[in-house]
Structure 1
Amino acid sequence: MKVFKKTNKNLKTDNQTGFGTNAANYGGRFLAKDGSANIEKRGLPFFDQISWFHTLLRLPAWKFQIIIFSVFILVNFIFAAIYYFIGVEHLNGIVASSEIEKFGQVYFFSAQTFTTVGYGHISPEGFLTSAVASSEALVGLLGFALATGLFYGRFSRPKAHLKFSENAIIAPFQGGKALMIRVASYKNTNLTDAEAKLTLAMRIEENGVNVNRFFPLDLEYSTINSLTLSWTLVHHITEESPLYGYSKEDFTNEKGEILVFVKAFDEMFSNTVAIRTSYIFKEIVYGVKFLQMFEHSTDKTKTVIHIDKLNLFEQAEV
């Protein structure tokens, strides 16, 4: 039955995924776990392939801060070197007994000029030194404007604060079995009108040629009014499902991928946010069921959701 289903011409396919049908030129999975496309772009100069604005917005906070501080130190080092080679005698107020101390004072003068603080302890003298100092002040103003915009963009960018379970599962459901994936909101945000879509991606052989085929997986509930607790995405594996007839060994030995797309309306940003991920067959656990992850509080006045239990499951007969 399994082979028949995979080659059944009556199965509905999704031809609008954007991944194409030529399986011979694809490697690995279609989507990474973080939802990014598993694509490497070549054929252009390195700097033409990257949107620095989007890259800086998406960097982890610690990497972004390291880049900001590194650029600040590097720019001031460059200007300090320029002042030093022009001659420290053109900077009034420098008192130092060694060359390292002179360079250190020149560096901190550069930092004061770059940030437009200007304590006044050291001042430029002469046309060339003054021109460099005024140019550095302009670079500093533009640089801090750019950094401020990036900080604002990182904080104000709408983001779907949703976590997916690490594994998809095959669990008992209504006398049969179902594919289940759990998702939960983990921030103090209000998400409404949530919508989910699952797609099965497989490389199959048709007329002696390997092709990519994408099969939409119907959900028990594809939309919910409010995503306040956890939401279990349930695809009932019936005879109409492309997963019908698959056993535990099939999920272990065969290659396939479940593409997950979720979008919702964020009331705080008054905007739609979206997130995606995927599960290859080896990340699907067969014959288990998710454990309950919320309960009432001690005084029974609130519902408590345990985000750390998002991926907890136990054995179950299917």
Structure 2
Amino acid sequence: MAGGFRQKIRQKNTDSSGFGSSASGRFINKDGLPNVYRKGGNVFNRLSWFHTMLNLSRFRFICYLVIGYIAINIIFALIYYSIGVQHLTGIDKSDPVNEFIDVFFFSSQTFTTVGYGRIAPVGFLASLVATFEAFLGLLAFAIATGLFYGRFSRPRAYLRFSDIAVVSPFQETTALMFRLAPYKNNALTDADVIVSTAIEVIEDGVPKSNFYRLETRLNKISTLALNWTVVHIINEDSPFYGFSEEDFKNIDIEIIVQVRAFDEVFSNTVVQRSSYVTGEIIYGARFVPMYYPNKDNLSTILDLDKINEHQKVEIPAMVVEKGQ
């Protein structure tokens, strides 16, 4: 049976994924970004710091700003200290620790252009460094403001994908399912999903990945208000036709998902991606409903904590044999 479905897979291979058949590892990370590391050329030409800062999590973004702010002030404090504290008026010269603390806070006041006035530079060199630091501070805060605006104004789908995909009984056969749900109060309409899969096969003793488009039972919905369970029926047209539980466990598979929707607030199209690999596909399971009516039965509660909840189900032997 294994040789049979491998032969069938080779005949149905498609090369529209954007990934070569010899690429290694996971193709799309769980955060939706390609699992590709670029090498060669100038590192500054390969890396877009603006995209990097926009794609950081909120916690890491704030941490980088705070660490950068502290590091810059420490560097300038060391410069002022090397010039000599006698070139700064109002410094507490009782001991070196107090001197450096005063110099550090003078640097932060200069960098933010606050300037309380207790400490001031004296002499050309200290004044020159303070002038340059104030100029650098203006540029830094302009950049930080742009980054904050970019992060807040960038249209995003705000979708949460289930961590797992399941293979469940469905209409006298089986189906591969995963689900997603919006976790913000944004309004998404005209949502559509594109699902493809990469399956590793051995050809002439060399492993390679073949890519296939997976047809879904419903590939477009008008409003994405609750969770959406995407269903791919495993029939004769599916590359998984004839797969047993052992095949889903032992063959390297990756399900690549792309969801596109229209955000009414931003009046823009948003896209989000995710993927599922072999270890994230559970054979013989069914998702548990994640929404239910409220107490007075006047509205619906969408419980995002239940997006991964599932229960084991038996796939009848006749259903399995039908796909052999």
- TM value normalised by structure 1: 0.93
2:322 aligns with: none
Q: Secondary structure at the match of 2:98?
A: helix
For the structure 1 residues 154 and 9, does the alpha-carbon distance in structure 2 shift closer, same or farther, using more than 3 Å as the test?
Answer: closer
> Equivalences for 1:243-254 in 2 at 5 Å?
243-254=240-251
Contact 1:11–1:242 under 8 Å retained in 2 = no
Asked if 1:242 corresponds to 2:239, the answer is yes
For the structure 1 residues 123 and 300, does the alpha-carbon distance in structure 2 shift closer, same or farther, using more than 3 Å as the test?
Answer: same
Asked if 1:284 corresponds to 2:276, the answer is no
Give 1:7 shift: 1.6
Structure 1 residues 89-111: Cα deviation after superposition (integer angstroms, max 9, x where no partner) = 22222242122212221221111
Q: Secondary structure at the match of 2:297?
A: coil
Amino acid at match of 2:34: A
2:320 aligns with: none
Amino acid at match of 1:200: T
> Equivalences for 1:1-318 in 2 at 5 Å?
1=1, 3-8=3-8, 11-21=11-21, 23=22, 26-206=23-203, 210-318=207-315
- Give the Cα–Cα distance (whole angstroms) in 2 for the partners of residues 95 and 176 of structure 1: 81
Q: Secondary structure at the match of 2:261?
A: strand
Q: Secondary structure at the match of 2:108?
A: helix
Amino acid at match of 1:8: K
Give 1:10 shift: 8.5
Contact 2:199–2:251 under 8 Å retained in 1 = no
- Give the Cα–Cα distance (whole angstroms) in 2 for the partners of residues 227 and 202 of structure 1: 30
- Give the Cα–Cα distance (whole angstroms) in 2 for the partners of residues 60 and 83 of structure 1: 35
For the structure 1 residues 209 and 106, does the alpha-carbon distance in structure 2 shift closer, same or farther, using more than 3 Å as the test?
Answer: closer
Give 1:248 shift: 0.7
Give 1:11 shift: 5.0
- Give the Cα–Cα distance (whole angstroms) in 2 for the partners of residues 102 and 123 of structure 1: 14
Give 1:5 shift: 3.3
Amino acid at match of 1:88: V
For the structure 1 residues 100 and 282, does the alpha-carbon distance in structure 2 shift closer, same or farther, using more than 3 Å as the test?
Answer: closer
Contact 2:248–2:281 under 8 Å retained in 1 = yes
Contact 1:94–1:122 under 8 Å retained in 2 = yes
Give 1:299 shift: 0.5
For the structure 1 residues 186 and 275, does the alpha-carbon distance in structure 2 shift closer, same or farther, using more than 3 Å as the test?
Answer: same
Give 1:206 shift: 4.3
Give 1:162 shift: 0.8
Runs ≥4 in structure 1, deviation > 6 angstroms? none
Give 1:210 shift: 4.0
Contact 2:200–2:251 under 8 Å retained in 1 = no
- Give the Cα–Cα distance (whole angstroms) in 2 for the partners of residues 236 and 110 of structure 1: 64
> What count of residue pairs does the alignment treat as equivalent?
315
* Structure 2 residue runs without a partner (length 5+): 316-324
Give 1:193 shift: 0.9
- Give the Cα–Cα distance (whole angstroms) in 2 for the partners of residues 123 and 176 of structure 1: 80
- Give the Cα–Cα distance (whole angstroms) in 1 for the partners of residues 206 and 195 of structure 2: 26
Identity across the alignment (%): 48
Amino acid at match of 2:3: V
Amino acid at match of 2:19: F
Q: Secondary structure at the match of 1:8?
A: helix
Contact 2:53–2:147 under 8 Å retained in 1 = yes
Give the stretch that moved more between structures: 89-98 or 55-64: 89-98
For the structure 1 residues 136 and 246, does the alpha-carbon distance in structure 2 shift closer, same or farther, using more than 3 Å as the test?
Answer: same
- Give the Cα–Cα distance (whole angstroms) in 2 for the partners of residues 2 and 267 of structure 1: 48
Contact 2:14–2:213 under 8 Å retained in 1 = yes
Contact 2:9–2:239 under 8 Å retained in 1 = no
- Give the Cα–Cα distance (whole angstroms) in 2 for the partners of residues 9 and 91 of structure 1: 76
Contact 1:170–1:177 under 8 Å retained in 2 = yes
* Structure 1 residue runs without a partner (length 5+): none
